Structure 1
């Protein structure tokens, strides 16, 4: 399931043209839940 989510997002990002709205709260949540998988550059 997570792999499908990742693949769907990677396809969407290729066509993304607008800035991501409300990204910071989502990124914080992903960092809490998937800390070992998140890149350290954020």
Structure 2
């Protein structure tokens, strides 16, 4: 009866915008490669 779905839909609408900005800033793909290189170097 609380209908938490609509509440989650609201933040989800803004989520794509935040994710787009966080993705390029975090660059998990490059970070992953760096981590592997660092481990192999050690």
Structure 1-normalised TM-score? 0.36
Structure 2-normalised TM-score? 0.36
Bigger CA radius of gyration: 2
